[in-house]
Chain A
Amino acid sequence: MKIPLKWLNKYVKLPSKTSVLTEALTLAGHMLDKTEKVNGDDVVDLELRGNRADCYCLIGIAREVSALFDTPVKLPESYKSLLKKSNLKEVSLQINSSFVNRAMMVVIKNVQIKQSPDWLKKPIQAYGIDSINNIVDLTNFVMLETGQPMHAFDLDKIGNHLEIRKAVENEKVTTFLGKTVTLNKEDLVWANKREVLSIAGSIGEKYHSISESTKNVLLEAASYDRANIRRTIYRHNLLTDAGLRHEKELDPNIVEKGVYRFLYLVDKNNWGQIDPHVFDYYPKPVKPWTVNLNYDYLETLGGLKLDTNKVKNILNRLSFKIKKESNNGLEVICPTFRTDVTLEEDLIEEILRIEGYDNIPTRTLSLEIPSYVTPEYISQEQELKLAATEVGLDEIITSSFVNEKYQEFNKNMEHPNASPVKIVNRPSQDTEILRTTLLANLLEVTQKVINERGTAAQFFEIGKIYFKQKTHYEEKRKLGLISWSKDSEVFAKFKGLLESLLTKTNIENLTFDNQQINNPKLINTYSISLEKTIFGLGGEFGNIFYCEIDLDLLLGKAQNPTAQLWPNFPPQIEDITLSVRTNTKVGDVLSLIKNTKYVADVQLIDTYEGYYTFRIWYQHPSKTLTDKEVEKSRKSLLHLIKQRFRAIIKE
């Protein structure tokens, strides 16, 4: 809120340096946004706290300054002659909603509508409200001064019977600012028998408001259920200066303060004759309430020990009253405008912020250290990320949404029946559908590389994917791996990359099998499993290799790392070359060889026109193998290979 300092100075003495004032306000919760000059006067713009309805006015800020600098507040003068509470003879008001906490009306006759004098015009202009005429300006002036929004009707145009009611669905009203609003049946309005006169809490209708020709005025000020007003304001985008205040927890007692201040200024300036009756609907008057303060709790929560006299002094400066006092604490009476203070903790914050957060000591959690409860999968994820960079992959973080262009790739690979999750209030087409796979976005990034950036792309992403199955929503942590190279990439290289990466995190002995998967765009698809559980799926698109690993499933599959030593006894190494039928899986041949007695290791070292060359290590951990032993082992494995795979051994 913009605070013209010259105006503020009328209610409280200000420090001579503006920066001293704004620094104090900032530390106490009202952060300085910016300082500006309007017509030569300093105006400070403060970011006020949403729970401090009482601060959205000059008096409210003056109270804060008063508490911070321990200097008195000078409240503005109010209309002295007390009005008689009764129904008004000119106009009645029926209230048909529990959302009205208080409503006051008073009639002012023979009003002189004219241009506002400078004392009225300048302050509201400095705040940022245009001047219209003296009566309208005065409603704004008093609102800015006291925090109570009010509205002036042309008494001769509104008829004799008013009501505050909920709008009829699709009822229309054109506001003072010329905007036509189609109302909802939850919106609260002021209306006469024929039409809506104003939208309660935010804005009036034009015809019934004050004009040049207005002779008699009906002034109303009210207090409503803030939640209802707030819904209306956001539904119709009507965040006016009145609405800004009504959507917060205003004190109904300031309705009266605002009205009497308004009347005082009308009377003082001879702008009209005040009718001696006031209509005041106030079914449940709000009285000051008490909150207890325990000194020990203040110390526990605040982390500092304060002298009790200091505590009392701070509370007094903030207009709290001490009702009772004991050795342990205080019973404190809250002024009704402090709608934000209802709990002991609220009171403690009040004391701390006036004492100053600067005076709170800094302790680096000197308490006992609680147990370490980081779940294993989180550390595993961190290890995986590091391992991925070690094998040369770059980490990408992409959006959780898939844009329109890449929707065709947004298919959950495991669950054909899973549907993507959609946002009902999407900000744009590209932020509507959540990803059901990491493929779509990683592919988009990779294609950027292919089209314009380079000759190779090797990326990984670890993140959530989302989908809906029947009625429940699921999110799963996935590792996506994508690789492309201008020089034709081979699957074996990609597979090796994944294997190396997982070995780094102590996951070994993966099995790869052909597998149909739910993505029509991918060819050469396969599954990746460990101990017979499938935890990953992959495939190829163009020359791009992709696979996706389910990290939730992989959790806990890591072996404890063991150090391996070079064996003490020499191996016998032999290469064998064989040709197998086209449907034979090399993996099966490898596992057969591997399972032969004395074979310590086997590698595929070459493939050429249907011939595969394997290098075999015969080795024993505790002795040197004899030629005889190796020969026996060799014979048995060649025999099995011939038998099982119909392989031809090249001698």
Chain B
Amino acid sequence: MREEIINIKNLAIGRITDVTDTHELESIRIEYLGRKGKINELLKSIEKVPIEERKEIGRLINETKQTIKIVIENKLANSKPKTKTSFDPTIPGIKPKLGHLHPTTIVINEMFEIFKHLGFSIMEGPEIETDQYNFEKLNLPKDHPARSLQDVLYIEEPEVLLRSHTSSVESRALENLKPPFRIAVAGKSFRYEKVNASNNVMFYQFQGVALQKGISMADLKGTLYYFVKSFFGKHRKIRFRCKYYPEVEPGGGLDVDCPFCKQLGCAVCKGRGWLEILGCGMIHPNILKNFGHSPKKITGFAFGMGLDRIVMDKFKIKDIRSLYNGDIKY
């Protein structure tokens, strides 16, 4: 009996291994495992086995059954269905609908991510602002020459306006947050502009402010270099130079090498070889005083940059208007 079982098992495994056709495999399965199959017949004939061996034989039959089952399953799993001759892998895929973030959002998120590493929080402020927060408190008194660089859109002249820069949020931060703090701001700003491919009435700015005892120009420079290397690439050249902004003293400007002409001079960089990226500096002592801080006790830095140019360069968009009129094709 034992030998018979082992023979059946070996034969079955051999046949299953050799078989190439799935139909034939199925008939083998029925032959062995079917209701009237060889295994069931073996089980029926167990009565003829002496009682003391029955348990052992029963176990052997079951094991054989399991083995054949597994071998068939494996065979089925490994058997390769025949390739249809008409199969065409060049057929266009049916794509599930994907949603996309706006390029400006993508850039803002990326920048926030970098500044989060440096301990910055995110802040927002109103877009309808007062002259106080947009100018006066930021060391830009009325008739200051620097105001001519920012033609403002007034809602009620001369006090209520659309913010002309995100520095207004710096005012809000200095007023509402307890130092030390580091905040990053991204948002819309508005100026009176003749609209064309590179100027728009509405544009985006990115701003950073840090106020903490002991902050110096070296911290400002380190922060900005970290940002530029992270965002624009670690091999980019950086130029850090003195620049005047009424909101800061000392003030600075940061340029990166023009990637379009390898600094040979082109239309994008106006032949300068450098692209102006941002303005920055140490928060002006008058501003600190405006918000009740003593410049000798606490120092801070601020920086601001236009985002649209950066977004346009990154996404190869030529016209600023197409960013905000729904012309972007996703």
Q: Least Cβ distance of A42 to chain B in Å? A: 15
Given A353-B250, A427-B192, A49 and B244 contact (CB-CB distance below 8 Å): yes
| Chain A residues closer than 8 Å to B122, beta-carbon distance | 374-375, 378
Q: Which of B212, B240, B242, B250 contacts A367 (CB 8 A)?
A: B212
Chain A interface size, under 10 / 10 to 19 / 20 to 34 / 35 or more:
35 or more
Check B221–A362 contact: CB distance below 8 A: yes
Contact A27 B153 (CB under 8 A): no
- A147 smallest CB distance to B (angstroms): 15
A337 CA to B48 CA in the complex, in Å? 124
Enumerate chain B residues within 8 angstroms of A458, measured Cβ to Cβ. Answer: 97, 99
Whether B240 lies near A473 (C-beta < 8 A) is no
Q: With an 8 A cutoff between CB atoms, is A575 at the interface?
A: no
Find out whether the CB atom of B218 lies under 8 angstroms from the CB atom of A360.
yes
For residue A459, which residues in chain B have a CB less than 8 angstroms away from its CB? 326
Bits for A431-475, please: 1 = Cβ < 8 Å to B, else 0: 100000000010011001000000000110001101000000101
What 1/0 mask marks residues of chain B from 232 to 273 whose CB sits below 8 Å from any chain A CB?
A: 000000011111101001111100000000000000001110
Given contacts A303-B218, A400-B127, whether A352 and B242 have CB atoms under 8 Å apart is: yes
A388 CB to nearest chain B CB (Å) = 6
- 8 Å CB interface, A261-317 against B: 297, 299-304
- Determine if A366 is an interface residue (Cβ-Cβ < 8 Å): yes
The 8 A CB mask of A539-571 against B (1 = contact, 0 = none) is 000000000000000000000000000000000
User: Which of A247, A297, A346 lies in contact with B296, CB distance below 8 A?
Assistant: A297
Do B218 and A367 touch (CB < 8 A)? no
Contact partners of A464 in chain B: CB under 8 A: 127, 188
A518 an interface residue at 8 Å Cβ cutoff? no
Q: Do A363 and B98 touch (CB < 8 A)? A: no
Is A608 an interface residue when CB atoms closer than 8 A count as contact?
no
Interface residues of B in 136-168 (CB under 8 A from A): 142-143, 145-146, 148, 153-157, 160, 162
Give the chain B neighbours of A213 by CB distance below 8 A: none
**A367 and B244 form a contact (CB under 8 A):** no
The reply to whether A370 and B105 contact each other, CB–CB distance below 8 Å, is no
Q: Is the CB of B242 within 8 A of A349?
A: yes
> CB-nearest residue of chain A relative to B281?
A349
Contact B242 A358 (CB under 8 A): no
Q: Say whether A101 faces chain B, with CB atoms less than 8 Å apart.
A: no
The smallest C-beta distance from B77 to any residue of chain A, in angstroms, reads 27
- Given A372-B121, A399-B324, A27–B222 Cβ distance below 8 Å? no
Residue pair B241, A396 in contact (C-beta under 8 Å): no
- Residues in A with CB closer than 8 Å to B310 are none
CB < 8 Å neighbour of B244 from A50, A357, A424:
A50
Interface presence of A28 (CB below 8 A): yes
Please classify how large the interface on chain B is, using the bins under 10, 10 to 19, 20 to 34, 35 or more: 35 or more
Q: Inside 8 A of B179's CB, which chain A residues have their CB?
A: 370
Stretch of B3-11, B28-36, B193-201 with 4 or more beta carbons under 8 angstroms from chain A? B193-201
Is the CB–CB distance between B195 and A427 below 8 Å?
yes
A382 on the B face (CB < 8 A): yes
The docked-state distance in angstroms from the alpha carbon of A389 to that of B106 is 12
On whether the beta carbons of B153 and A427 are closer than 8 Å, the reply is: yes
Contact among A370, A374, A397 with B180 in the assembled complex (CB-CB below 8 Å): A370
At the interface with chain B, which of A227-235, A508-516, A520-528, A617-625?
Answer: A227-235
Bound CA–CA A163/B123 (angstroms): 55
Contact between B202 and A400, CB atoms less than 8 A apart = yes
- Contacts of A392 on B, CB cut-off 8 Å? 96-99
Say yes or no for A578: interface residue by CB 8 A criterion: no
Q: For residue A188, give the distance in angstroms from its CB to the closest CB of chain B.
A: 14
Q: Is the CB of B324 within 8 A of A397?
A: yes
Contact check, B102 vs A397: say whether CB atoms are below 8 A apart.
yes
Bound form: Cα–Cα A51–B177 in Å: 31
CB within 8 Å for A400 and B188 given contacts A382-B109, A424-B154, A428-B195: yes
Q: Which of B194, B239, B244, B271 neighbours the largest number of chain A CB atoms within 10 Å of its CB? A: B244
Q: Chain B 167-206 against A: per-residue CB contact (8 Å), 1 yes, 0 no? A: 0000000000101111100001010111100000110000
Rounded to whole Å, the gap between the CB of A15 and the closest CB of chain B is 18
Q: How far apart are the CA atoms of A478 and B303 in the complex, in Å? A: 28
Evaluate whether A378 and B244 lie within 8 angstroms (CB atoms) in the complex, with A345-B284, A352-B217, A360-B217 already known: no
Residues of B within 8 A of A301 (CB): 216-217, 250, 282, 299
Q: A301-B282, A352-B217 are in contact. Are A389 and B249 (CB under 8 A)?
A: no
- The segment from A29-37, A80-88, A586-594, A637-645 that touches chain B is A29-37
A396 adjacent to B119 (CB under 8 Å): no
Does A170 sit within 8 A of B, measured CB to CB?
Answer: no
The residues of B that contact A368 with a CB separation of less than 8 Å are 180, 212
* 9 residue pairs from A and B, CB less than 8 Å apart: A230-B145, A231-B143, A247-B145, A300-B216, A365-B223, A395-B102, A396-B326, A400-B127, A475-B126
The 3 closest A-B pairs by CB, nearest first: A303-B218, A445-B326, A303-B216
For the complex with contacts A357-B221, A400-B190, A401-B201, 9 further pairs of A-B residues with Cβ separation under 8 Å are A29-B244, A344-B285, A365-B182, A372-B121, A389-B99, A395-B100, A395-B101, A397-B104, A399-B201
Q: Which residues of B come within 8 Å of A, CB atoms?
A: 96-102, 104-105, 109, 118-119, 121-124, 126-128, 142-143, 145-146, 148, 153-157, 160, 162, 177, 179-183, 188, 190, 192-195, 201-202, 210, 212-223, 225-226, 239-244, 246, 249-253, 270-272, 282, 284-285, 295-296, 299, 323-326, 330
